[in-house]
């Protein structure tokens, strides 16, 4: 099951705010900085190869299981990650 895909949009629950994979990646990168960890740390903890993880952060595709592992590794609920991505989308649409 694909959570996000380049050029495609997804919606979290019943909201009307579409989230792109680029916005999801931007939120994840921000959380990585906030938590003071490296992408390589998350890669190791999740089992996602570093080059694949980097590509996914930059607009690639995370499957649901990968996204759950990343959320767990960042000690952040997936719902919070998606809420942040929706807020970023609203901000980008308003700009």
Write down the pLDDT at residue 16. 65
What is the per-residue pLDDT across 36-79, written as a single tens digit (0 to 9) for each?
Answer: 999 999 999 999 999 999 999 999 989 999 999 999 999 999 99
Q: What is the mean pLDDT of the chain?
A: 86
Cα–Cα separations (whole angstroms), residue 70 to 29, 34, 91, 93: 11, 14, 24, 26
- Cα–Cα dist 67/70, whole Å: 5
Decide: 19 and 12 in contact? Cβ < 8 Å. Answer: yes
């Amino acid at each position: 099951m694909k959570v996000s895909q380049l050029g495609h949009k997804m919606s979290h629950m019943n909201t009307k705010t579409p989230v792109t994979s680029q916005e999801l990646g931007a939120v994840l990168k921000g959380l990585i900085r906030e938590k003071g960890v490296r992408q390589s740390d998350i890669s190791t903890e999740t089992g996602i190869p570093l080059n694949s993880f980097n590509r996914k952060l930059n607009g690639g595709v995370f499957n649901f299981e990968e996204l759950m592992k990343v959320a767990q590794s960042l000690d952040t609920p997936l719902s919070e990650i998606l809420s942040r991505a929706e807020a970023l989308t609203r901000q980008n649409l308003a700009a």
